[in-house]
Structure 1
Amino acid sequence: MYDVVIIGAGVSGCAVARELSKFQVKACVVEKEEDVCCGTSKANSAIVHAGYDAQNGSLMARLNVLGNEMMENLSKELDFPFKRNGSMVVCFRPEDEKKLYDLMENGKKNGVKGLKILSREEALQLEPNLSDEVTKVLYAPTGGIVCPFNLTIALAENANQNGVEFKFNTEVMNIIKQETGYLLKTNQGEIESKVIVNAAGVYADKFHNMVSEKKMHIIPRRGDYCLLDKSAGTHVSHTVFSLPEKNGKGVLVTPTVHGNLLVGPTAIDIEEKEGTATTREGLDKVIEASGRSVKNIPMRQVITSFAGLRAHEDRHEFFIEELKEAKGFVDVAGIESPGLSSAPAIGVMAAEIVKDILDLKQNEEFQAERKGILNPETLSKEERKELIRKNPAYGNIICRCEMITEGEIIDSIKRPIGAKSLDGVKRRTRAGMGRCQSGFCSPRTMEILARELEMDMMDVTKSGGQSKLIVGHIKEEIE
């Protein structure tokens, strides 16, 4: 019997887990995939929104601004990259400038600091590559960028270090209300818990509807993106948005914390909750819309395209509450943009609800800090030489594009909630995220995974499940 079971190991679920680990609690996170950060959290804009867009008075607006304020200190505690690069919303026509002023006023009501309207000339001084169509700009200095993988993994590792269990490849099939709480029927057996936190992303409506007669409907909203090489990473220094559209914040152009350039997303409602395939039509829209905001984007430098899903609930709001009709069942649902920005605040709010339900006491042994994977390039030449002398694996470059060493890959496998697949290593170290998109480093990374996890190379996967990379009758040749 657990005190709390959290369904979903995305950024919201891991944020709740980390906040709950500040209390004396027996908690577990169950995730149907083989790792954390495998759903919505792995494919998004990686933006920490300032908070001017969400409707004033909404929970979405309040948690966005609070989450933004919390992110910098959290990045220091948990050692993940975050940068306050500022954001711009560009306007193309004088008749649309009122919308820009309305957006600023909404942001001020939400508590966003430093908002101001810039003339075209003022904006060009900050961002010279803005397109010739831009007339005015809303500037938000508190906007930022983050690595969604590192953030989610850091939250999960810290929660795990403080006692929260994680069960992967564990899909919840049914939830049954009991006198003492809930029975979760999973593909790995039954789990009992006093409280359930439903942080299941695009599947949150499925679990909500199992226990409540007040139905929830979540639409997977697909967003297509193009990622450009680091050679294009300085084309803009701020995150550049167009005016918000009916289905979202529009197509943006932004640097990433790792030095790439990202453009996207589209906002296309689909029915398939696993529908992450890009389309030619979607990518064409990304290219066209981004070019209207920022000129001369070197699209020949695109190294990959991808699509992510946002959990859009019909009412366009976050739902973070204990259900009146199902005591002990806490929704963390409808977490679409600005969900990543709001995650730290979402974690606090949901954990407080659970604390009150269970009357939890403080965990006096809680450790707030976590160290990320050591990057030898952050060391001085002398420190790096000493590191390699002590551990030669840090002198063996495996991924040439991102200059990732064998030592970093081993660390990613051996740490709490370590990598078990190629994508798991990639999310933790960036091995395979460079220009060649793992064309060079995959075989060596597979060898390291097989060796460190004491498994057969034939069983190494790209992303768990049946995604094996070696198939056929070549096992004897490998051996």
Structure 2
Amino acid sequence: MTVTTSGGLPDGVHDVAIIGAGVVGTAIARELARRRLRVALLDASGDVGEGTSKANTAILHTGFDATPGTLEARLVREGYGLLTAYAAEAGIPVERTGALLVAWDEEQRAALPTLADKAGRNGRPDTRLLDATELRRREPHLGPGALGALEIPGESVICPWTTTLAYATEALRHGAGLHLDCRVTDVRTTDEGHELATGRGPLRTRYLVNAAGLYADDIDRLLGHADFTVTPRRGQLIVFDKPARALLRHILLPVPTALGKGVLVAPTVHGNVLLGPTAEDLDDKRATGTTAEGLAFLRSHGARILPDLLAEEVTAVYAGLRAATGLDDYRIRSHPEQRYLTVGGIRSTGLTASLAIAAHVAGLLTEAGLEPGAPDTGPRPERMPGSGEASARPYQRAESIAADPAYGQVVCHCERVTLGEIRDALAGPLPPVSAAGLRRRTRATAGRCQGTFCGPTVRALLEAGARPERPGAAAGTAAGTAAGTAAGTVGATVPEATIPDAVPHAAPDAEPVARTVDVLVVGAGPAGLTAAASLAAWGAGAVEVVERESVVGGVRRRAPWSGLAAVAAGLPPGGRASVRRRAEAAARAGARVRTGVTVTGWAGPLTVDLTGPGGLERITARAVVLATGARERPRAARLVPGGRPPGVFTAGQVERAVRGYGQPIGRRAVVVGAERAGYRAALTLRQAGVVIVAMVTDAPRPPAGAALDRAVRGWLGFPLLTDATVTGLTGRDRLESIGLRRGDGATAILGCDAVVFAGDWIPEHELARSAGIALDPGTLGPAVDAAFRTSIPGVFAAGAVVRPTASAATAVRDGRATATAVLRHLNRSRRQPEPPPLRLSR
């Protein structure tokens, strides 16, 4: 088992070298390594699956619409069965949702019987025609005008990243060598076979397999062949947040065209909804940026297919390139006289066909003179960590948490990724070398906040590696520690940037520990802490606060609290001390304040499930206060087109990175957004030594107000560009510039290596929404009355989750008002006097 990323390549002659470590290349490496051959797998990038394989529609195709009689039709049909079985063995997430091929006009409807006949000739006789009534019953959120559909029951969704990783891992287990950052620049034929010239030196091999994807034609030409030309076909995609998953039950396919399968809407195994792709033939094989036109095109199709989808939050926009050849079949060709084999023109069905392609390649190599052994039928494939939503995740498994509390410490709250999962990925046989690689392996930073909350922690863990040095003291602010100690509770905090070893534990308990309290407050920001302190002081009974982060204070807890910085943060001077005093006051009054505990869902109207290093819990309360706060919309949610280079942040992410970890942000930054958060970010950036190129806002004047603008810009001296929008981001290994368009149509490019998106707040409403609580159509937070009561009796909401743009001072007032309403709710059977004032020193 060898993975190299630098230095010279192994000496000696390999039996087979494979160029390209995408899903097809890794599948071939797995197949050949299992036959006891000396195999080398080379890729120009720094990870497996970095090309086409990482940006497809993640569908496990039945091959119902392949051209009958083609090699593609056969390999997709065979590969579907092979990959379905392999996924079950290896733990690759798969969901069999079925697909509906939807007709939107008479011409399309007339084509459905022909497509059903074609499916039968491809071995899929189980398709069925649906009329408009049955279609509407199956998909009630479908847009108007759908005339009918063809049902394809076997279509499924799969995780393409886990599939590629599983193949590569098994190849390594069987002795293959994986050589990354190893671009092949030339091939010289020798008596032994081939000598590959690479950026890391030569590599010798008897047989050569070209699985280079977009560059397969370039490699082919090095061997003297010009059988095909690859045209990069860009497919842009939009991923919507998990609440959108309730809008559809099947993969919704259009009637296919010559350019591809068209724009589809599909669920993902991770609980999201995907819209796309476009089909744009380009000249540049590296043009993986999105465009404003492409995103608008997708949204127009989404509006027709599933209108309610566009009201959902976007978690990612990205683009991938497919290897189009203009031919109607794969270009798999053997050249026995050269001991060379081309695997080219593999389209979007390549994921499904990958194992069958690998077996076909092994057969062709045997015909060319290679003498492989029989496939190793030894140990079963190593099971991949489960990241799909259809099965229990580590944070939901009491046994796993009992054996190792790291599986209860949620780091990425949007995707519920735990410290244990990140540790396992970093310590695995093929560890990630970048944040993007870790994201593909674990989903960390892939959720709705795009790393605003967890990004700096994930970055610190990645930089520390699989076994970082442990800090000498526990993480968390003094407020979090004081609150936990005063309440007699060990705050469930794990030192940030620390990956613990597995901790032995007594016999695991498979059931959540059930408890009851009088009031449960979810969120330890200003509103939640004030409500808890007031209720505990007024004798409301057992009051408990649970906070998912390792420290209390809400999104502003790492803000610079003095002078102009306090003004920019929307807090009075000494705000950090104020937060600490509120936590201490709540604990002194008898409230239990716990950090590092995540509410994962509802088990009843006033019952929630929680996870933490201590295990699973189920708490029933007489009243629940949601004080879950708000988050900034990241770049993806704002539909800003362009590439996805490192150097893109939110203001909250900058605060955590700089003040929590001392992480560098860049040298020159643009701040997008002139709300208070933007000015706070500017102060933090300057204190970190970053030059602020400009602040950009689409408003005609700074929303934070003229006084704050004059104070901060007068001190820091950067320009403010009003009535301007960001039109795109450029850069590959690092952000290089952003494009702007002014209201008068003028455009500009600002050179920078960091961009910070600030403000544009949205409530953290997912917990409220999952309970069925009505949302305010304006703020998108829980709709509340004057007493902060939601649509569910006994559930209240306060703070930024209700008023996402309000200041911390407003949140404090709301917290106290909510406490008054909760106390009246608890005592509604008898007359309750006005609660006494709670005095908190500042």
**TM-score of the aligned structures, taking structure 2 as reference length:** 0.53
1:181 maps to amino acid: G
Tell me which residue corresponds to 2:460: 447
The CA deviation at 1:342 is: 1.4
- Are the aligned partners of 2:299 and 2:310 in contact in 1 as well (CA < 8 Å)? no
The CA deviation at 1:118 is: 1.0
CA gap of 1:70–1:365, structure 2 versus 1, over 3 A, is: closer
CA distance in 2, matches of 1:380, 1:278: 32
Tell me which residue corresponds to 1:415: 428
Tell me which residue corresponds to 1:92: 104
Tell me which residue corresponds to 2:408: 395
Does residue 1:255 correspond to 2:288, yes or no?
Answer: no
- Are the aligned partners of 1:376 and 1:384 in contact in 2 as well (CA < 8 Å)? no
Question: RMSD value over aligned CA atoms?
Answer: 2.6
CA distance in 2, matches of 1:170, 1:64: 30
CA offsets 1:254-276 (integer angstroms, 9 cap, x no match): 11011100000010000111111
Tell me which residue corresponds to 1:177: 189
- Are the aligned partners of 1:242 and 1:249 in contact in 2 as well (CA < 8 Å)? yes
CA offsets 1:375-422 (integer angstroms, 9 cap, x no match): 799669999455334433223221111111111001001111111211
Tell me which residue corresponds to 2:349: 338
Q: Secondary structure at the match of 1:360?
A: coil
Tell me which residue corresponds to 1:459: none
The CA deviation at 1:158 is: 1.2
CA distance in 1, matches of 2:315, 2:665: 27
Tell me which residue corresponds to 2:285: 273
Tell me which residue corresponds to 1:462: none
CA distance in 1, matches of 2:372, 2:292: 51
**Paired residue total:** 467
Tell me which residue corresponds to 2:38: 26
Does residue 1:434 correspond to 2:441, yes or no?
Answer: no
Tell me which residue corresponds to 1:461: none
Tell me which residue corresponds to 1:425: 438
Equivalent in 417, 438, 449 of residue 404 of structure 1: 417
CA distance in 1, matches of 2:130, 2:111: 14
1:405 maps to amino acid: T
The CA deviation at 1:191 is: 0.3
2:190 maps to amino acid: Q
CA offsets 1:263-309 (integer angstroms, 9 cap, x no match): 00010000111111001111111111233233322344212211111
The CA deviation at 1:69 is: 2.0
The CA deviation at 1:200 is: 0.7
The CA deviation at 1:216 is: 2.0
2:457 maps to amino acid: R
Equivalent in 41, 53, 57 of residue 53 of structure 2: 41
The CA deviation at 1:95 is: 3.3
Q: Secondary structure at the match of 2:247?
A: coil
**TM-score of the aligned structures, taking structure 1 as reference length:** 0.91
2:258 maps to amino acid: K
- Are the aligned partners of 1:374 and 1:408 in contact in 2 as well (CA < 8 Å)? no
- Are the aligned partners of 2:217 and 2:226 in contact in 1 as well (CA < 8 Å)? no
The CA deviation at 1:467 is: 5.5
Does residue 1:51 correspond to 2:77, yes or no?
Answer: no
CA distance in 2, matches of 1:160, 1:315: 34
Q: How is 1:455-470 mapped onto 2 (pairs within 5 angstroms)?
A: 470=664
Equivalent in 359, 371, 379 of residue 348 of structure 1: 359
CA distance in 2, matches of 1:376, 1:305: 20
Equivalent in 211, 216, 219 of residue 228 of structure 2: 216
CA gap of 1:376–1:89, structure 2 versus 1, over 3 A, is: closer
Tell me which residue corresponds to 1:192: 204
1:152 maps to amino acid: T
CA distance in 2, matches of 1:176, 1:48: 38
CA offsets 1:351-374 (integer angstroms, 9 cap, x no match): 222244311112546433211126
Q: Secondary structure at the match of 1:2?
A: strand
The structure whose RCO (Cα within 8 Å, separation 6+) is larger is 1
CA distance in 1, matches of 2:203, 2:386: 36
CA offsets 1:46-85 (integer angstroms, 9 cap, x no match): 0112212221111111112222222221111211101111
1:212 maps to amino acid: G
- Are the aligned partners of 1:234 and 1:255 in contact in 2 as well (CA < 8 Å)? no
Tell me which residue corresponds to 1:12: 24
- Are the aligned partners of 1:320 and 1:349 in contact in 2 as well (CA < 8 Å)? no
**Greater shift in the superposed pair: 213-222 or 1-10:** 213-222
Gaps of 5+ in 1: 457-465
CA gap of 1:443–1:293, structure 2 versus 1, over 3 A, is: same
Tell me which residue corresponds to 1:102: 114
The CA deviation at 1:32 is: 0.8
2:138 maps to amino acid: L
CA distance in 2, matches of 1:135, 1:65: 29
Tell me which residue corresponds to 1:328: 339
CA distance in 2, matches of 1:220, 1:439: 33
CA distance in 2, matches of 1:382, 1:194: 48
CA gap of 1:95–1:247, structure 2 versus 1, over 3 A, is: closer
CA distance in 2, matches of 1:394, 1:376: 16
2:339 maps to amino acid: G
- Are the aligned partners of 1:87 and 1:143 in contact in 2 as well (CA < 8 Å)? yes
CA distance in 1, matches of 2:664, 2:339: 45
The CA deviation at 1:246 is: 2.2
- Are the aligned partners of 2:27 and 2:355 in contact in 1 as well (CA < 8 Å)? yes
Q: Secondary structure at the match of 1:296?
A: helix
CA distance in 2, matches of 1:381, 1:186: 41
The CA deviation at 1:472 is: 5.4
Q: Secondary structure at the match of 2:163?
A: helix
The CA deviation at 1:434 is: 0.6
Tell me which residue corresponds to 2:331: 319
CA gap of 1:470–1:102, structure 2 versus 1, over 3 A, is: farther
CA offsets 1:104-163 (integer angstroms, 9 cap, x no match): 111111112411211111222222222221111011001110011011111111111111
CA gap of 1:150–1:380, structure 2 versus 1, over 3 A, is: closer
The CA deviation at 1:447 is: 1.4
CA distance in 2, matches of 1:62, 1:273: 29
Aligned sequence identity (%):
33
CA distance in 1, matches of 2:78, 2:431: 30
Gaps of 5+ in 2: 1-12, 470-644, 648-662, 668-684, 690-842
Between Structure 1 and Structure 2, whose CA radius of gyration is higher? 2
Tell me which residue corresponds to 1:207: 219
Tell me which residue corresponds to 2:591: none
CA gap of 1:360–1:288, structure 2 versus 1, over 3 A, is: same
- Are the aligned partners of 1:225 and 1:264 in contact in 2 as well (CA < 8 Å)? yes
CA gap of 1:364–1:308, structure 2 versus 1, over 3 A, is: closer
CA distance in 1, matches of 2:324, 2:311: 29
Q: How is 1:146-157 mapped onto 2 (pairs within 5 angstroms)?
A: 146-157=158-169
- Are the aligned partners of 1:251 and 1:264 in contact in 2 as well (CA < 8 Å)? yes
The CA deviation at 1:453 is: 5.4
Q: Secondary structure at the match of 1:166?
A: strand
CA distance in 2, matches of 1:214, 1:263: 36
Equivalent in 73, 79, 87 of residue 75 of structure 1: 87
